[in-house]
Amino acid sequence: MRIRVDDPTRLGELLRFLDRRVDLVTRQASETEADVGVLGSFADGGRAELDSHLEGWREANPGATVEVMGLRAVGAEACP
């Protein structure tokens, strides 16, 4: 899933927070966006779990804004 923060100075902090979770894989995509994969997720792509982690980050960072922009394939390549 692609996530976006409103303040580019917060993205590194958010990625470090998410990287501490063993079930998440992150990759910075731009100054304000990153791709996040939830390992072992199928039905909703891990959206509910990611939302829970992001809520914890928001609580620890009052005033910070992060939005989930939608599902994206992370590191997936087409099979022949």
Q: Tell me whether residue 50 is in a domain.
A: yes
CA–CA dist 10, 43 (Å, integer) = 29
Look at residue 77 and tell me if it is in a domain: no
Number of domains in the chain: 1
Q: What is the pLDDT of residue 17?
A: 95
pTM to 2 decimals?
Answer: 0.77
In a domain, 78, yes or no: no
Distance in angstroms (rounded) separating the CA atoms of residues 2 and 20: 18
Please name the helix (run of DSSP H) or strand (run of DSSP E) that holds residue 21, with its range, or none.
none
Is residue 79 in some structural domain?
no
Domain carrying residue 13: 2-70
Q: What is the pLDDT along the chain (80 residues), one digit of tens a residue?
A: 899 999 999 999 999 999 999 899 999 999 999 999 988 877 777 888 899 999 999 999 999 999 998 765 444 443 33
Identify the pLDDT of residue 71.
63
pLDDT for the residue 58: 93
